[in-house]
């Protein structure tokens, strides 16, 4: 994930864990990727992907809010991709946005260049506006819906990203029915949990800061509420939407219950394939671990491929499997969960062992509720 605008954003989501990353760069004023760094990055990612034997190079533009950079930045990015792309390599682009700055010019560009757009929506107006407000505390729902309409009008391919928090977790059926009518068959649900840190900020990842174990923020979704959210949505999806609506969580689980590998890093055995790069070229082991302790280096000072395949990067990836609690290791659902995201290993296991996943109850609820039907779908699809 590339963050060419760093953590800068034009809205102020109350649950956002990334806005405070500005503190990593106290002297930075612009948080804007320079053209020199942009060209260096384009060349480096193409070359690193080529060395890995990949035939497609995927550029994933995130933030903050990347559209704050303006359309000319991305027009230049595409121009550089064409300039430096060798024969036999395919380029793809995706961009995650709150949709507020989208207009007809943006949409024409996104359609012409085949960008996949991720549009952030938390549900109907009353739910979305609970936490997704602008810098002045004003609601954003109407502007987001306008952005979605512009994407539909220009036939831009997009998916919906919905965060699940205390404000919408109890409204799973309503949220799902609303989102599936927005014009995209692809929906992602991202559960939100963070711990309150000192001085009003957020605590660091548990691997860095274990001192705030029980200080869960008021907007974080509870494990039981998230589990029920998944179960309620699955029941509707299973009855009405198989083959019509593609929910990332369900699709990933079907693959795992079919004996395949995880298509989502959260449920993979190891980590390390979802690196994050800041506007200045600083490369971190993961988007959820943008802390000094997990900085791999800077692509302007060391070749990207050396950083990506460094011993530090490998150790970070392997730690996910190596630090499972005994409860995880002996769980019958380990194949479908693998201990979840290490950032969420905030609680103690049933045996009192530290480093257990906060969402263990959520996933266990879901697997007990939906496992039989997941297995039936997996059988119908055949072996992966």
CA distance 29 to 31: 6
CA distance 121 to 160: 7
Give Cα separations from 39 to 35, 213, 285, 298 (angstroms): 6, 42, 22, 15
CA distance 97 to 121: 10
Annotated active-site residue in 122, 232, 282, 287: 287
Identify whether 287 is a catalytic site residue: yes
Nearest to 133, CA basis, from 276, 1, 3, 19: 19
Counted residue by residue, the chain has a size of 384
CA distance 314 to 308: 8
DSSP string, 243-303: TT-EEHHHHHHHHHHTT---SSGGGSSS--S--EE-TTSEEES-GGG-SGGGEEEETTTS-
Sign of CA dihedral 170, 248, 369, 323: negative
Dihedrals φ, ψ of 96, to 5°?
-100, 130
Q: Which residues are catalytic?
A: 287
């Amino acid at each position: 994930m590339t963050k060419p605008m760093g953590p800068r954003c034009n809205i102020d989501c109350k649950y956002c864990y990334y806005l405070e990353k500005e503190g990593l760069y106290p002297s930075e004023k612009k948080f804007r990727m320079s053209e020199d760094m942009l060209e260096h990055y384009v060349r480096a990612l193409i070359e690193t992907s080529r060395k890995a034997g990949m035939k497609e190079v995927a550029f994933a533009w995130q933030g903050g809010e990347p559209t704050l950079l303006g359309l000319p930045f991305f027009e230049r990015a595409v121009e550089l991709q064409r300039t430096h792309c060798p024969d036999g390599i395919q380029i793809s682009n995706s961009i995650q946005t709150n949709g507020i700055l989208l207009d007809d010019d943006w949409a024409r560009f996104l359609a012409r260049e085949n960008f996949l757009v991720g549009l952030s929506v938390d549900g109907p107006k009353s739910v979305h506006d609970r936490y997704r407000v602008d810098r002045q505390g004003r609601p954003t729902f109407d502007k987001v819906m306008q952005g979605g309409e512009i994407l539909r009008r220009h036939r831009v391919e997009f998916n919906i990203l919905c965060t699940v928090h205390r404000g919408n977790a109890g409204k799973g059926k309503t949220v799902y029915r609303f989102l599936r009518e927005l014009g995209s068959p692809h929906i992602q649900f991202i559960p939100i949990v963070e711990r309150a840190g000192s001085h009003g900020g957020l605590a660091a990842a548990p691997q860095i800061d274990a001192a705030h174990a029980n200080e869960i923020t008021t907007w974080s979704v509870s494990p039981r509420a998230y589990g029920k959210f998944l179960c309620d949505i699955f029941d509707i999806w299973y009855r009405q939407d198989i083959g019509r609506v593609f929910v990332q969580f369900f699709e990933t689980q079907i693959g795992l219950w079919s004996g395949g590998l995880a298509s989502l890093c959260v449920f993979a055995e190891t980590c390390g394939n979802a690196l994050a790069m800041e506007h200045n070229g600083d490369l971190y082991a993961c988007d959820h671990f943008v802390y000094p302790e997990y900085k791999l280096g800077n692509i302007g000072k060391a070749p990207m491929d050396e950083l990506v395949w460094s011993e530090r990067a490998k150790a970070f990836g392997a730690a996910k499997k190596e630090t499972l609690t005994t409860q995880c290791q002996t769980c019958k659902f380990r194949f479908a969960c693998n201990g979840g995201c290490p950032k969420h290993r905030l609680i103690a296991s049933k045996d009192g062992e530290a480093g257990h996943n906060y969402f263990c109850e959520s996933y266990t609820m879901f697997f007990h509720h939906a496992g039989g039907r997941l297995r039936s779908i997996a059988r119908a699809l055949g072996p992966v």
